[in-house]
Every structure is written in C-alpha cells, then in structure tokens.
Amino acid sequence: MPLSTDYMSKTPDKQGRFAYTDAETAVWSDLFAMQMEALRKHACAAYLDGQEALGMSGQAVPQVTEIDARLRNITGAGVQAVDALIPQDEFSTLLSERRFPVATFIRKREHFDYIEEPDIFHECFGHCPMLTNNAFCQFMERFGRLSLELGEDYSERLFRLFWFTVEFGLIRQNGALKAFGAGIISSPEELKWAMSGKPDVVPFDLMTVLRTPYRIDIVQPVYFEIESFEQLARSIETDMRAALDTAREMGDLPARFDQAA
C-alpha cells in the first residue's frame, strides 16, 4: 500500500478530547475484536496485562488524556497527541521523557489490514499496553536519550533496533513465540504472517540487528526473538556509539527481502 497523504490529524476540544465519527468508531471496533481474538493466543503476557490495566474496549476509540493518566499511575510513562509524522528530534525527546507520541486519526476501512502511517489503533492499541511494563519503558527512555546524544549520523542504523523490537519484536514465553511489537500487534496481516511459521525468527543479537536492513512497506521477512524485557533493557546499556561504529565497519548483512518487490 502506498504511503497515504490524505490523513489529517484531529483537533481536540477544550477538554483535550477528540471526536470520532460512527464510521471511524466502527473501524476501531472491528479491528479491536479481530485482533484481540488472535492476540489472546499470540500476544505476550505483558501486552495482555497492559490491555487489561488500561481498560481499552471495542466500544469507543480511547481518549489520549485518559490513557495518559492511567499510564502515569502504572509506570510513570505517558502519551502525547501529535501529528501523524513528527520530526525525529521531537520523537526522541518524547521517548527520553518516557512519553510516547500518539497520532489521533484512524485508518480508513480500505487500509484495514495495514497502514504505513501510524494511526491511533497502531499507537494506542499497539504500543500503549507495553508501556505498563517497566523494563520496556526503561528501554524506550534510554533509546530516546541515545538518539538525541548520537545525532543524525547514527540515526538510521540506531532505529533498526527500535524497528526490530518496539515495532516488530517477538518474545518466547513458556516455550511459545509471542508478539510484543506494535507493528505486529496492530496489523491483522502482519500478526497472521508472523505466527505462520514462514518467516525467519532468530535470537536477538544486538550486532545482528544493527546490521539488518528492513523495509516498511511489506510484511517482515525476519523477526528477532528476545528472552525477556530485562534482556531488552540491558541490550542498550552498552557503548552504543562503539557498537554502531562496529556495525557500520562490518557492513550490512544481505537483505532478506526482494529489492524488486
């Protein structure tokens, strides 16, 4: 699906609440029902616990202010309504403050299975439940600080770590693969593919992640599997500048996707 250009951020009322049409609410409701049915089997425990703690339902699109208040009571994390695409420095600054940016529009029904731009289903349904896990929040906060410290020269390679974990990460629990990345959680197509046994799933290794290219417009041909969220948090407590320099010197691994696709 080509990147959409016709999505518009919503404007809040004086109480900071966003209005959604019946058609938009119906998209949320249908997505919520479809994904939760599959995620009860395929999502990690932290995600399912987070969903329960945040009290989301298929009845209405969540309000950003309410999710923010609940997160602050649980882990001190929070969310902030933003335009769909914000500058990288603004994004990283929010992460460093343990806050996650949330786009307020919701996808159209023709983009039901997958959308390249982050909508509120991806942001709230996909990301926010994981923000109830403290180790995950530690990783996110540290990632934001590193992004600001290292700057643009390291950005592209550093964000591979974000892509293969926060967006498309898997974890093994009780011998079974479970999803925690929001790109898997929020996409019917991606979730079905990730759990099909067809894509490669490899153990998480920081250097391998930093050397693995990706594309945003296809289901992922490879996923990385972490052992725990504590492992994820520890992975970024190394000398990341040195790790990124080493990855650059070693060069990218062969792309696992078809460049002509």
- What is the set of active-site residues? 122, 127, 167, 186
Place of tokens 């934001």: 144
Place of tokens 């929020």: 186
Question: ∠236-239-240 over CA atoms, to 5°?
Answer: 60
Question: Cα dihedral sign for 217, 182, 174, 55?
Answer: negative
- Chain-centre distance for alpha carbon 258: 24
Residue pair 185/238 in contact by the 8 Å Cβ criterion? no
What element of type H or E holds 140?
helix 134-150
As a whole number of angstroms, the distance between CA 39 and CA 195 comes to: 11
- In what order do the strands lie in the sheet containing 170-173? 176-179, 170-173, 222-226, 200-203
Tokens of 235: 């992975």
Q: What is the DSSP string of 51-115?
A: HHHHT--SSSPPPHHHHHHHHHHHTS-EEEEE-SS--HHHHHHHHHTTEEEEE-----GGGSS--
- Of the CA atoms within 13 Å of residue 119, those in its CB half-sphere come to 25
